Structure 1
Amino acid sequence: MTADMQLETYGFPPGYFVIRSVASNRLLDVHMDGVEDGTELLLWPETESSIVESRRNPESNNQVFFIDPSGALCSRSAGHAIDIEGDRLVIRHRRPVSLPYPNHYSHPLPKFSYSAQTGEITVHFTSDPSHPPPSAAPSDAWKQKTYILASIPLRRPKGILDDAHAFISSAIATPLSFFSGAASPKATPEAVFSTDIDLAEDEVLEEERGEEAEVDDSPEWGRKVRVLGIVNKAREEREIIEKARQRRRWQITAIRKADAPTGFI
């Protein structure tokens, strides 16, 4: 390798770095510092604030990543690349080729790129990430999508006071039917959507999210991170609210070998 040869880092800094969610202020984290194939990645509060290598606690390396020469995002602690399983980020051990290739078990690892301008992390696939069976009709629909990482907000669990408030609000809204026993009007789609039969937070489609679905007030430490497959990103960007945009933004911080600007280790 010549001295002037530069390796492609796909928008990420060279060497090690941490990935922070702008919306949740949490770092991308290998769950429980796992190394097993399929271990999920999530967002977790920062466990080491120093960005100088010699001052960092090695036990925090599950929040440190790097880009290898192929463009694969890799975990420093696990020593393995990151794959996409469904819409989740997981640790993936390299696997031998199995036919028919590619398939769910054996396929090219996705590449990751970062845009400092937009703050978005994009995932690039060379084959259909849904890994359809050989008998399925061929489709290029996956090629029309833009795949980006997003954090998922988490609401605090509903308590007794929340249920009581909803109960009273319902009684006030329909006082006659409530006290007289008269038949209630037919439920509207909006009313059905507001009942307790809800999708999980990470099952709500991005274009269907409103202000209520963007509330992130759970006391839980962890948050989920998901890969969004967006068909028409330009149009969708015009329709989503600002909180949704923030969930797609990431701050990348390089781990320095020395203090700046003195250069002392």
Structure 2
Amino acid sequence: MTADAQLYGFPPGYFVIRSVATGRLWDVSLDEVEDGTEIILWPEKDNSLVEGKVVESNNQVFFIDTSGALCSRSSGHAIDVEEERLVLRHRRPISQPFPNAYSHPLPQFSYSPETREITVSFASDPAYPPSSDGSPPSNGWRRKSYILTSIPMRKPKSLMDNAAAFLSSAVTTPLSFFGTITAQPKATPEDVFSGDIDLTEDEILEQERGEEGEADDSSELSRKVRVLAIDPRDSPPAGENARMRRQWTILPLRTRSASHRTASPRKSG
């Protein structure tokens, strides 16, 4: 196997990963090094694309190591998938029953320059369901494709918006004033990766966001990255925004600063 084949579509050396939809870069939250630290999207920092600069931007720089794992430059730790989030992962010893949520092979990230999508491959069920009754494990996860997407964020609703939503809810469910409302259960990791639920964000399914759910007008600097479990037989998303959220640009580090660059926020969320 050649060295190029080991890169899985990523460039050699160090690079940053930019969301086509938001323009933000992958960023290790707060530049932490602890196991389980989340990878988020954050505005590009000053000099983050320049090699050889000692700046507070290495947590936006990534690379493919000699084993083929996607890693963070700032800590050297690999990127793993925990539930549907991307997180830092220290290498761990094998623990039984293997694989499990604590100890498992790292997922393989691959980039397609043609589609600009990043896909994820797993060596075992990424939900790591417990073996209880001795029945053979389900292979449903093998029939899914796993792809990375950015998540839009709405600005907080105003008092008038909340009042309107409350009145609308009261009209559609009048008995809720006098009875107990049973909350809808949150999606579990098993739901996310089994195919019953692809992805939830504030209980909105990715494929059912609609025009309002597509809005990304929050003033918050950070955005989330999530893993979508999709059926390869499904048609690609019809909306341009939905397609762009699944697209990424990989940018190798430059050897010197660009004269037109301006400073951006220096601390991630």
Superposition TM-score, scaled by structure 2 size: 0.78
Structure 1 residue 68: deviation in Å? 1.5
Higher alpha-carbon Rg: 1
Shift of 1:72: 1.3
The amino acid across from 2:147 in the alignment is I
1:135 Cα deviation after fit:
2.0
Does the CA-based 8 Å contact 1:100-1:134 persist in structure 2? no
1:116 matched to 2:74? The reply is no
Other-structure match for 2:51? 53
Distance (Å, rounded) in 2 between the aligned partners of 1:113 and 1:63: 18
- Describe the shift of the 1:201–1:6 C-alpha distance in structure 2 as closer, same or farther (beyond 3 A): closer
Equivalent position SS for 1:139 = coil
1:119 partner letter = R
Equivalent position to 1:84, from 81, 85, 98: 81
In 2, distance between residues paired with 1:29 and 1:146? Answer: 24
Residue of structure 2 equivalent to 1:27: 25
Q: Residue 229 of structure 1 aligns with which residue?
A: 229
Are the structure 2 counterparts of residues 216 and 146 from structure 1 closer, same or farther at C-alpha, using a change threshold of 3 Å? same
Q: For residue 40 of structure 1, report the CA deviation from its aligned partner.
A: 0.7
* CA positional deviation for 1:208: 1.2
Query: How many residues are paired up?
Result: 232
Equivalent of 1:103, from 90, 100, 103? 100
- Alpha-carbon offset, residue 134 of structure 1: 2.1
Q: CA deviation at 1:258?
A: 5.9
CA 1:133–1:186 in 2, change beyond 3 Å: closer, same or farther?
closer
Q: Residue 208 of structure 2 corresponds to which residue in structure 1? A: 208
Which secondary structure state, in structure 1, belongs to the residue aligned with residue 222 of structure 2?
A: coil
Cα-to-partner distance string for 1:17-58 (whole Å, 9 max, x where unaligned): 00000101100000000100011111001112463313x343
Q: Secondary structure at the match of 2:213?
A: helix
Alignment pair present for 1:69 and 2:66 = yes
Deviations 1:47-80 (A, max 9, x none): 12463313x3431000000012332110000110
CA separation of 1:203 and 1:65: change in aligned 2, threshold 3 A: farther
TM-score with structure 1 setting the length: 0.79
Closer, same or farther: CA 156–185 of 1 in aligned 2, 3 Å: closer
* Deviation string, structure 1 residues 180-234 (Cα, Å, up to 9, x no partner): xxx96789xxxxxxxxx9x9735422221211101000000000110000023x5
Matched to 2:141, the amino acid is W
Partner Cα distance (2:63, 2:56) in 1? 17
Q: Which residue of 1 aligns with 2:189?
A: none
Question: What amino acid does structure 1 have at the position aligned with 2:208?
Answer: E
Q: Which residue of 2 aligns with 1:152?
A: 151
| Structure 1: gaps (5+ residues) | 171-182, 188-196, 261-265
Cα distance per residue 1:165-190 (max 9 Å; x no partner): 7689x7xxxxxxxxxxxx96789xxx
Structure 2: runs of 5 or more not aligned:
175-183, 187-199, 259-269
CA gap of 1:240–1:205, structure 2 versus 1, over 3 A, is farther
Kindly tell me: are residues 201 and 164 of structure 1, through their superposed partners in 2, closer, same or farther at Cα, counting changes over 3 Å?
A: same
Distance 1:201 1:167 in 2: 20
**Is it true that 1:39 corresponds to 2:37 in the alignment?**
yes
Task: Confirm whether residue 14 of structure 1 aligns to residue 12 of structure 2.
Answer: yes
In the alignment, what sits opposite 1:217?
A: 217
Equivalent position SS for 1:52: coil
Q: CA–CA distance in 2 between the matches of 1:258 and 1:222?
A: 27
% same residue: 61
| Contact 2:111–2:118 under 8 Å retained in 1 | yes
The Cα of 1:240 is off from its aligned counterpart by 3.6
Alignment of 1:187-202 (within 5 A): 201=201
Aligned counterparts of 2:3 and 2:250: Cα–Cα separation in 1: 24
Q: Equivalents in 1 of 2:165, 2:203: separation in Å?
A: 23
Shift of the alpha carbon at 1:106? 0.4
Give, as a single letter, the amino acid of the residue that structure 2 aligns with 1:129.
P
Q: Report the Cα distance in structure 1 between the residues aligned to 2:66 and 2:206, rounded to whole angstroms.
A: 32
Structure 1: how far apart are the matches of 2:160 and 2:99?
Answer: 52
2:47–2:55 Cα contact (<8 Å) kept? no
State the alpha-carbon separation in 2 of the partners of residues 147 and 202 from structure 1: 21
**C-alpha offsets along residues 120-149 of structure 1, whole Å, 9 cap, x if unaligned?**
000110110000112264111001111011
